[in-house]
Amino acid sequence: MANLVTVGIADLNVVKAPDTLVTYALGSCVGICLYDNEKKIAGLAHIMLPLSKDAAQGIDNKRRYADTGIMELIQTMNLQGASASRLTAKIAGGAQMFSVSSSMFNIGERNVEAVKKVLASYRIRIVAEETGLNFGRTVFFHGDTGIMEVRAAMKETKMV
């Protein structure tokens, strides 16, 4: 029987086919879906901020940042038998929820940029992207097909 595994904010998880991962209501956060098509292993990380070096003292959650979160996701997938060289990526989120132009508010865009840089450093290709704009997204990532299903309020569901 297929399970639905939830990934919270600043968290990550890995499943094998036929299970599905879900992360709810991405705003400025970014959901990173990695897939090993040969082994049918799917991983999803929900990051909040670009780089771990920006962390304040005493705050230690690696899953919060694009760089350390993606690193841990790849390691976790490797442990379950995935190969980093076979991984492809699909990303979603990074919206600007409020229309105010200030550096504080374009965090969504900065998150997406950081995610792309980190993925490029691992030579992981981004094959689908549903990012930016100004609305929240819920992401389902299907372990059997590697399809990312993106739902938004009052909008058509996208399967990419």
Partner 1 sequence: MSIQNVEQLKDIHIDVLREIGNIGSGNAASALADLLQCETNIAVPTVRLLDFNDAVKFLGGPENITIGMLVNITGEIHGMMLYIIQRAFASKMTMQLFGTDIADMMNLNDMERSLISEVGNIMAASYINALASLTGMTIDISVPTLTSDMVGAILSVPTIEFAKVGNKVLFIDDSFIIGDSEIKSNMILVPEMQSLETLFEKLGVGV
Active-site pick, 29, 77, 89, 124: 29
Kindly state whether residue 28 participates in binding partner 1, applying the rule CB under 8 A.
yes
Kindly state whether residue 5 participates in binding partner 1, applying the rule CB under 8 A.
no
Catalytic residue list contains 29? yes
CB of 61 to partner 1, least distance (A): 8
Kindly state whether residue 122 participates in binding partner 1, applying the rule CB under 8 A.
no
Encoded one letter per residue, x for contact with partner 1 by CB under 8 A and - for no contact, window 58-97 reads xx-x--x------------------------------x-x
Residue 128 parent element (H or E): strand 125-131
Longest dimension (CA), the chain: 47
**Would you say 1 or 154 has its CB closer to partner 1?**
154
Burial of 66 (0-12, 13-18, 19+ CB in 10 A): buried
**Would you say 98 or 159 has its CB closer to partner 1?**
98
Q: Which residues of 133-144 are buried (b: 16+ CB within 10 A; e: fewer)?
A: eeebbbbbbbbe
In sequence order, the 6+-apart residues with CB closer than 8 A to the CB of 143 are 2, 15, 16, 17, 18, 19, 20, 21, 40, 41, 42
Whether the Cβ atoms of residue 29 and residue 9 lie closer than 8 Å to each other: yes
User: For partner 1, which stretch binds (CB under 8 A), given 51-59, 115-123, 124-132, 140-148?
Assistant: 51-59
- Round to whole Å and give the CA distance between 11 and 23: 9
Q: Which residues are catalytic?
A: 29
Q: Which residues bind partner 1 (CB under 8 A)?
A: 8-10, 24-29, 48-49, 54-59, 61, 64, 95, 97-100, 102, 104-105, 107, 134-138, 153-154
